A = this chain, B = another copy of it.
Amino acid sequence: MNAATKRRRDDTGTASLRTQAILETAAKLICAKGYAATGMQEIAEACGLTKAGLYHYIESKENLLLAIMSYGMDLFEEQVLLQVVGIEDPVERLKACMAKNVTLVTRGWSKEITIILHEHATLTGAAGKQINARKKRYVRFLESSVQEAIDRGLVRKVDPTVAAYAFLGTVLWVYKWFLPEGKLSDEQVADGMIDLFFKGLEVR
């Protein structure tokens, strides 16, 4: 009796469910060690598969990374963007967006987000373009929200592009230093950053 017969098959389980699990396991490893430093063998073993078995589900290493990042972008859009696009007041919209974004990064639920942030130049060619386009949409959303706030006289006049990237830097850099067991809670960080950033935008 070999490993194949010992291991329980996932019978009726949809194939995509298994693929999802593989993505999550791979994400955990890649998040911890970096894309280039993580071997396919390692990922396969963590999934309870051989390397060849893993390749039954994925096409290539690069494709695996793309799948992880795409899933991460889905997650981000669902947990951040979709939650705030409906808010009518552009300032409140941006504030809510910052809060959601900070907690998305601090709560380590989604290793995929960290991977997207860290491996920002790893994917090249068509795959890279695909992810970049989705990121760009977020930047544009921020820029236009800032512009809207300016037009409505809700905030003073600033460069929307600089504001958008300052917003992003403030919020996303968090992944490099935040520790859940540190002296600052994620709410404190989020509140503090919202206070800092939006006090700088107020009309006097």
Contacts and interface: CB of A to CB of B under 8 A. Distances in A.
B161 A197 contact: no
A177 B184 CA distance: 28
Most-contacted residue by chain B among A173, A174, A177, A184 (CB, 10 A): A173
A192 B165 CA distance: 11
A169 B178 CA distance: 12
A73 interface: no
A197 B198 CA distance: 9
Q: DSSP class of A's interface residues: helix, strand, loop or mixed?
A: helix
A166 interface: yes
A188 B36 CA distance: 35
Given A36-B36, A195-B158, A200-B199, A173 B163 contact: no
Given A162-B192, A165-B173, A168-B177, 7 more contacts: A118-B118, A162-B189, A163-B196, A168-B173, A173-B173, A195-B200, A200-B201
Which 5 A-B residue pairs are closest in the complex by CB-CB distance? Answer: A200-B200, A169-B173, A162-B192, A36-B36, A36-B37
